[in-house]
Chains A and B, each alone.
Chain A
Amino acid sequence: MKKKKSISYAKWGYLFILPFFLAYFVFTFVPQALTIYNSFFENYREGLTQVGPNFVGLRNYIQLFTPDANGSIDVLKYAGNTMILWVLGAVPQIVIALLLAIFFTSYRLRIRGQQFFKTVIYMPNLIMASAFSMLFFTLFSNVGPINQIIQAMGWSDVPIDFFAKTVTVRALISLMNFLMWFGNTTILLMAGIMGIDQSLFEAANLDGANAIQTFFKVTLPLLMPILVYTVITALIGGLQMFDVPQVLTGGAGTPNRTSTTLVMFLNNYLGSSKNYGMAGAISVIIFIITGVLSMFVYRSLTKKD
């Protein structure tokens, strides 16, 4: 009798989270399982003829990890490109965003017009990445305004071919990613800092801690959960980097494919050939890399706890 009287609210809980899990299952879990399944098949289109799907076991993976004539393994090269492009963009992004977040939240500085600045630094994120890349492509092309300025100033007689050098192409991509994302990161970190109890800052102040000490001893440790979240989401976004380099280099990842990212590589297989087998194998590799790196970042930033 007693048992019947107690009411379980658990079922309501399950009911409420059901939509999320259904959506997750249909739109994330099933496609992911299908991707892994597809990666074991030969499945592409040649002209208007469909080849496969034929089961080929690990052949797609073996092909991906077979060194080319110069002895380099493409998929590792593109993974390296992606990491370099991400680090070049993300490190300054997080440092600047952290700095800005501290300025904006400091009760000593009390910066006026905060709303205005917050809006302005967030603006670049509202532009479509492809439009932004087109803009940069036009600005920095051989006949574009930047080269016209350089030649008019007499700094160089011939136009500087920004898209023929690894350094400049990578710098441009990183710069664009930085410009697009630092505002977003700033807002996230500001929210994190404002969540910290103000009395702690006051206490540190009373104890005679200077700004730098306050930052390293109070702000940073308490901000860690948000910072880890920021770094991991930035990392996942960075590993999926595609639109900016794709549009900027016309899909070619020039020069010598040094700005080809993993997802651009995947996209090459999906272009004319609709090669779901190889594209699936690359996706699985990206998935594994993302998992491992996220774990690594999580561990290294939270190990003190």
Chain B
Amino acid sequence: MKKCVSAFLALVMVFALVACGGGSTPAAETPAQPSTTSGSSAAPAAPAAADNGEGKVFNIYAWNEEFKGFFEKYYTVPEGVTVNWIIVPSKDGAYQNALDEALINQADAAADDKVDMFLAEADYILKYTNSEATQDVAPLGVTDFSNAYPYTVQAASDANGVVKGVSFQCCPAALIYRRSIAKDVLGTDDPVEVQALLNSWDKYEAVAAQAKAKGYYMTASEAADYRVFTNNATASWVDADNKLQFSPEVEMWMKQAESFAQNGYTVLSDIWADDCTNQMFKDGKTMCFFGPAWYFNFSMGNAQDAEKGCFGDWAICEGPAPYFWGGTWLLAATGSDNSSMLADVMNTFINNEDVCTKLVKDEAQFSNNQKVNNAAASDDAYASEFLGGQNPNTIFVELAKNIKFENQTIYDQLCNEKLQENYREYLKGSVDKDTALQNFYKAIHEAYPSIILPQ
């Protein structure tokens, strides 16, 4: 018996040693690879063929399946190349953590394990564009940005204006309302008339009171219109001295959320939680949602549900202020061994008019190609059935002219998430306002020790 036990323990030890040794194997292969890598980057950036010395595996990091769907539909992968998707949800910075880990180890990774391209959101894109982890896309062959919206190029550029990637979408965002509820509350569901009644925050709050009187909610989350304020912020979350600060716009939102909570104009919920998204069903009581094309296309599944949804009972208008929200940028990772495919993917999604047109027409996207979008704006063939026959591109083209990409920091995602999370506790009455803010500061300190907090 004892012999068995000791034999077992010895076996465990051997396994442990083997397991430790395993990690070094891929690293040992690395030195053999750089020759392939440098060979490919010297090659001209023509549409890739598998035998041009490029890697056989194209690794893409993403936080959801949205782009994966478009990629698989509209991009023809060169023969012999396998596309490997690594998808990590973004909540609590989990996506960034996984990506950072991969990028930090990029130099030591085997050629087929290297990140080739990764997706990034506006909230933290600066962290990557301003680092060595991303590379200039001009030498790869991505040089024509004449049709892309300027803010998308600016967002993908580092401090010196070197462009590190492209966005496949432009994200002007609008107010999305339920037609039937608007008719009940405002007496009309015509986008132009509704817009006239909602074109300032004062009017918006007055309508909220009207909606409440009729038994409706104005929004399904106090943070539904958060981005309308913060993506127009006149100050960044962290100032030049690394001190945390609230921009006047964030303070305006806090004030509005307070009044909405006290008056019962809104459901108190995270925008991605079931409490909020269940309001999109037919029996939901909420009049307004906020978002760009990707929101009603990708995130309003409940409204499109065949049984419980209310397909076609929606419309959009500009709302109280123009703004953008989100957007997915494709960034070129330094050390990629698939340079020509990388360039090809990027060019396809901004300059291939055929693909961009399909994105607008079949996927309800607002593409990052002005020519395609402008054509779609005046063409009735682009009317959306989901929006009851309205052509969203007409409004988006106008809104896109006013998009600003300013005052961003690398800390934005968690600042936005943690503020909403902790402030909601105050709105629900669990804690007082001061405690909620203290808890917000604590969360920021845990995530970013170097930020100086207000006391």
Contact = CB atoms under 8 A, between A and B. Distances in A.
Contacts of B449: 44, 46, 51, 273, 275, 278
Nearest to B413: A272
Contacts of B428: 161, 164, 255
Interface string A270-288: 0111010010000000000
B170 to A, nearest CB: 26
Scoring A23, A47, A161 by chain B CB atoms within 10 A of each residue's CB, the highest score goes to: A47
Given A46-B450, A143-B274, A27 B16 contact: yes
A39 interface: no
A51 B100 contact: no
Interface in A243-259: 250-252, 254-257
B21 to A, nearest CB: 13
A23 B447 contact: no
A251 B370 CA distance: 42
A27 B128 CA distance: 35
Contact of B104 (A48, A142, A255): A48
Interface string A126-145: 00000000000000011110
A22 interface: yes
Given A19-B9, A161-B428, A256-B435, A272 B127 contact: no
Nearest to B11: A19
B455 interface: yes
A269 interface: yes
A23 B430 contact: no
A272 B96 CA distance: 8
B71 interface: no
B9 A48 contact: no
A254 B439 CA distance: 10
Interface in B30-57: none
A132 B435 CA distance: 31
Contacts of A141: 273-275
Interface stretch (A68-76, A84-92, A296-304): A68-76
Interface residues of A, number: 39
A48 B448 contact: no
Interface in A11-43: 15-16, 19-20, 22-23, 26-27
B448 A46 contact: yes
B442 A23 contact: no
A48 B133 contact: yes
A48 B414 CA distance: 15
A257 B16 contact: no
Contacts of B421: 252
Given A19-B6, A19-B9, A143 B275 contact: yes
A252 B12 CA distance: 38
Interface in B5-21: 5-6, 9-10, 12-13, 16
B45 to A, nearest CB: 26
A69 B13 contact: no
Contacts of A68: 438, 442
Most buried by B among A27, A74, A273: A273
18 contacts: A16-B2, A23-B12, A45-B100, A46-B449, A47-B131, A48-B131, A51-B449, A69-B434, A69-B455, A70-B438, A74-B442, A252-B421, A252-B422, A271-B93, A271-B447, A273-B446, A273-B449, A275-B446
Given A255-B428, A268-B447, A271-B447, 19 more contacts: A16-B5, A19-B9, A19-B10, A19-B13, A22-B13, A23-B13, A23-B16, A46-B450, A47-B410, A143-B275, A164-B429, A250-B92, A252-B421, A255-B430, A271-B97, A271-B446, A272-B93, A272-B414, A273-B448
